[in-house]
Amino acid sequence: MQKTEAQPDPPEWGAPAVALPTSRALLHERVPNQREVAQPDDQLGSGAGRSDLEVAAAPSGPRFLISDLLAELEAYLPRDQVSEVYRAYLFGAEAHQGQARQSGEPYIYHPIAVARILAEMRMDYQGLMAAILHDVIEDTATGKEQLADRFGEAVAELVDGVSKLTQIDFPSRAEAQAASFRKMMLAMTRDIRVILIKLADRLHNMRTLDAMMPAKRRRISRETLEIYAPIANRLGINRIRVDLEELGFRHHWPWRHAVLSHTIKAKRQGQREMVKRVEQTLRARLDAEGIEAEVSGREKHLYSIYRKMREKGRAFDELVDVFGFRVVVDRVDTCYRVLGQVHDLYKPVPGRFKDYIAIPKSNGYQSLHTGLVGPQGVPIEIQIRTADMHRLAESGIAAHWMYKSAGEGSGPQAAAKDWLQGLIEVQRESGDSQEFLEHVKVDLFPDEVYVFTPKGRIMVLPMGATVVDFAYAIHSDVGNTCVAARIDRRLASLRTALRSGQTVEIITAPGAKPNAAWLNFVVTGKARASIRSYLKNLQNREAEALGQRMLSAELAALGVTLEDIGEPRILAHALECGLADSARLFSEIGLGNRMPMLIARRLAGPSETVPAAEAAGAETEPQQSEPTGRARRLAIRGTEGMVVHFARCCRPIPGDPIAGLFNPGKGIVIHRSECRNLGDFHSKRDKWIDVEWSEDPQAEFPTEIRVDVGNRRGALATIATAIAEQGSNIENVHSRDKDGMTTTLDFLINVTGRRHLAEIMRRLRQIPSVTRIIRLSNAGRLREGISKR
């Protein structure tokens, strides 16, 4: 089959074009036919079964053969478990019979390849069976129940966990992908093997991506770089992370990959002797000190170098530590002895030492990192770790299966457990699948800061995390009630970004609550999800209270009260409308999704019925005549919260005649009655509600005034002082020159009502340099002013 090669993107660095490498392996295994597969007694338990297996997998090439896989499994699994894996293969081969991949290869090659990747991690037999069967639910007529009957509930759950949601129609590809991702991540919180199977699946797909069209390659590789490689990093599986990043980089940016690869190869030729000399020098020094160690040179991976270039805005020649070395010893204390020796050999670079042994990374990674000035002034980096740390660094959570010594309490295991627990909390707080995906992607951070609680507990947060992120990392209740912080015993604001080594103490207040503005600066998924969840619940509570008041007003016009109607009747109507309870009905009214007038008529009695369409939420005017009573106007206090909004176009304040317009899903928007944006609202009775100001509003309201003042020094300060003396706060001010002699100042100030505004304007009129004062809307259409001559 003719391979489809990616077209290089246009040159960005001015380097010559380089031929792009390819990585797709050509597979040549024959799939067993129907007769070979369908024999249920074709098991591996006897010599006859093994010979049948060899017939079923008759190889014409050495790679990804089922016989090779089973031979590898026999090195660490009991024979009866290997037999179960083979049984899963027979079932999978039959289920995928006649299916082919984009490359033209029989589809069964892919599941076998996925199982081979997991076998390298020493995955257990159930995980291997699920790997071979991982596409049968999604791509064949096989159901989860059928798999459970044949292979047990555990295998069926694993296969279902990695299967996409194909039975549900979604409005867009993005929503479908987000929903499938959420399903997979929740399955992962129950069984970590789900994500290991998915990572192996993605790795083989990336290795065979050349068969795809360029656009699809770029989409899949971008998803790999944004989601799956960071997940592998979060679980500490370095070997899979590196492969995913390198393949993702090559397919998403083929030209950049080729140019950078060419540049590094050229650099490597010139530094080969230097690398050899550093290795020899390190070995000689450690041997002289009686330290047994394994020393090896290592090169930074292409994607790691590229990411640094982008993040720091540097050219390749400006990067340091492109060349690295690793020293592996037997004991932790020896790591620090080696550190002293290498610092004696080469000059340390200030700020380039990191002790991940004392403070491990969030994925459990441990090592000492130190940046040094090597021979000929070439920057180098040396990593120092124990053999156990090295195994865990490469395998992460997969070390649970690979090494018996890596138990549940190992670094990656404990780190993964904490992360999964955090995912459960984020999922609980997230509104929908796309929001959940956004939060998870935010938390898959590559760079971290390490800060301390007052009691010395270490908290690991993403780079750029703020005080609010720290508060939510401690507990949701702490985040919801935080008002300030002390960083190293000094007061700090909530939006302060944290740095490693700081000690942070959160100050809370019982009446405090999250602010929507926090979403503009928090960075962790948990903080964002918790804030959004709180605000949504708060909005629902406020909508419920407002909706109950609105319905009471409409019922009063009909001569009845909510108490007269009774809870059972209200609940029955809510259920007719498809709502869970009466509280949800009130919320729908408060959010503007249902008309209180129509619901009031329905509840008032048989004589006041409305069309059946209203029960389904239709907002149509009933055909009956208007009731004789008039609904009591809804009193606006200013404390209704997120369900009553004050229009910015006219900025109403107490004392202004007002009208309320329904904004479905958000509540009521209050306008001044003369606002031109209202149009002929009286003709649309179902779109507005009678409102009035309460006798004693409990809030301050923003309004705008324009002041023309003569150009003189200190004029702005004089006006600002006068406004403050009248008990008003200035939220914003904008100035512009009018005619060379006069400056126009637009103030956004907070007032309690028209009387308060009049007092401020009278006070400003007393300032000699003020020539004109007007109140205006944002568009400048509504004006009340006083001019001075």
Q: Is residue 14's pLDDT more than 50?
A: no
Q: Which DSSP state fits 307?
A: H
Q: What is the per-residue pLDDT across 730-761, written as a single tens digit (0 to 9) for each? A: 888 988 887 778 889 999 999 999 999 999 99
Per this entry, what is the length of the chain?
Answer: 789
β-bridge pairing 701-710 and 688-689: unpaired
Burial 357-371 (b: 16+ CB within 10 A, else e): beebbbbbbbbbbbb
- Final residue of a domain: which of 140, 163, 186? 163
Question: For a pLDDT cut of 70, what percent of the chain falls above it?
Answer: 74
Q: Say how far apart CA 743 and CA 707 lie, in whole Å.
A: 8
587 closest CA partner among 554, 636, 545, 537: 545
Number of domains the chain is built from? 4
Q: What is the per-residue pLDDT across 474-502, written as a single tens digit (0 to 9) for each? A: 998 999 999 999 998 899 889 899 988 78
331 and 392 belong to one structural domain: yes
Q: Say how far apart CA 590 and CA 24 lie, in whole Å.
A: 59
491 closest CA partner among 482, 501, 480: 482
Considering just the CA atoms, what is the radius of gyration of the chain in Å?
34
Is residue 139 annotated as a catalytic residue, yes or no? Answer: yes
Q: What is the mean pLDDT of residues 666-672?
A: 85
Q: What is the mean pLDDT of residues 630-634?
A: 64
Q: What is the per-residue pLDDT across 157-206, written as a single tens digit (0 to 9) for each? A: 889 888 765 444 545 666 666 666 666 767 766 788 888 898 999 999 99
What CATH number is given to the structural domain containing 392? 3.30.460.10
Predicted local distance difference test score (pLDDT) of residue 56: 38
682 and 746 belong to one structural domain: no
292 and 146 belong to one structural domain: no
289 and 396 belong to one structural domain: yes
CA–CA distance from 626 to each of 403, 558, 621, 630 (Å)? 79, 10, 10, 9
Q: Say how far apart CA 784 and CA 527 lie, in whole Å.
A: 45
Amino acid at 318: E
Predicted local distance difference test score (pLDDT) of residue 192: 80
Catalytic member of 124, 139, 289, 621: 139
Predicted local distance difference test score (pLDDT) of residue 15: 33
Contact present, 233 and 241 (Cβ < 8 Å): yes
250: in domain: no
Mean pLDDT check: name the lowest of 10-24, 359-373, 427-441, 535-549. Answer: 10-24
Mean pLDDT check: name the lowest of 418-432, 467-481, 501-515, 683-697. Answer: 418-432
Q: What is the per-residue pLDDT across 404-439, written as a single tens digit (0 to 9) for each? A: 444 454 555 666 666 666 666 666 666 566 666 665
Contact present, 188 and 420 (Cβ < 8 Å): yes
57: in domain: yes
Predicted local distance difference test score (pLDDT) of residue 8: 38
Q: Is residue 591's pLDDT more than 70?
A: yes
203: in domain: no
Strand partners, 86: none
Predicted local distance difference test score (pLDDT) of residue 566: 82
Q: Output 620 or 772, whichever has higher pLDDT.
A: 772
402: in domain: yes
Q: Say how far apart CA 370 and CA 355 lie, in whole Å.
A: 9
656 and 686 belong to one structural domain: yes
Catalytic member of 72, 120, 138, 191: 138
What CATH number is given to the structural domain containing 724? 3.30.70.260
**Ramachandran region, residue 594 (left: φ > 0; alpha: ψ -120 to 50; beta: rest):** beta
580 and 685 belong to one structural domain: yes
750 closest CA partner among 649, 633, 653, 682: 653
Contact present, 347 and 373 (Cβ < 8 Å): yes
Mean pLDDT check: name the lowest of 211-215, 252-256, 450-454, 605-609. Answer: 605-609
Please tell me the pTM assigned to this model. 0.58
456: in domain: no
Predicted local distance difference test score (pLDDT) of residue 246: 93
519: in domain: no
Residue 575 pLDDT level (bands cut at 50, 70, 90) = confident
Q: Is residue 385's pLDDT more than 90?
A: yes
Q: What are phi and psi of 512, to 5 degrees?
A: -75, 155
Q: What is the mean pLDDT of residues 36-49?
A: 34
Q: What is the mean pLDDT of residues 104-115?
A: 89
680 and 773 belong to one structural domain: no
Give the torsion through C-alpha atoms of 227, 229, 231, 235, to 10 deg. Answer: 180
Q: Is residue 286's pLDDT more than 60?
A: yes
722 and 754 belong to one structural domain: yes
Q: Is residue 270's pLDDT more than 90?
A: no
- Final residue of a domain: which of 137, 163, 189? 163
Predicted local distance difference test score (pLDDT) of residue 334: 92
- Final residue of a domain: which of 364, 389, 406? 406
Q: What is the mean pLDDT of residues 687-713?
A: 86
Residue 78 pLDDT level (bands cut at 50, 70, 90) = very high
Predicted local distance difference test score (pLDDT) of residue 681: 65
637 and 736 belong to one structural domain: no
Predicted local distance difference test score (pLDDT) of residue 249: 93
Predicted local distance difference test score (pLDDT) of residue 598: 77
Domain of residue 342: give its range: 263-406
Q: What is the mean pLDDT of residues 15-43?
A: 33
Q: How far is C-alpha 276 from the chain's CA centre?
A: 44
734 and 643 belong to one structural domain: no
Q: Say how far apart CA 128 and CA 89 lie, in whole Å.
A: 10
713 and 582 belong to one structural domain: no
Predicted local distance difference test score (pLDDT) of residue 524: 85
Residue 403 pLDDT level (bands cut at 50, 70, 90) = very low
666 and 716 belong to one structural domain: no
What CATH number is given to the structural domain containing 83? 1.10.3210.10
Question: For a pLDDT cut of 90, what percent of the chain falls above it?
Answer: 24
Q: Say how far apart CA 707 and CA 738 lie, in whole Å.
A: 11
Predicted local distance difference test score (pLDDT) of residue 749: 92
Q: Name the average pLDDT for the chain.
A: 77
466: in domain: no
465: in domain: no
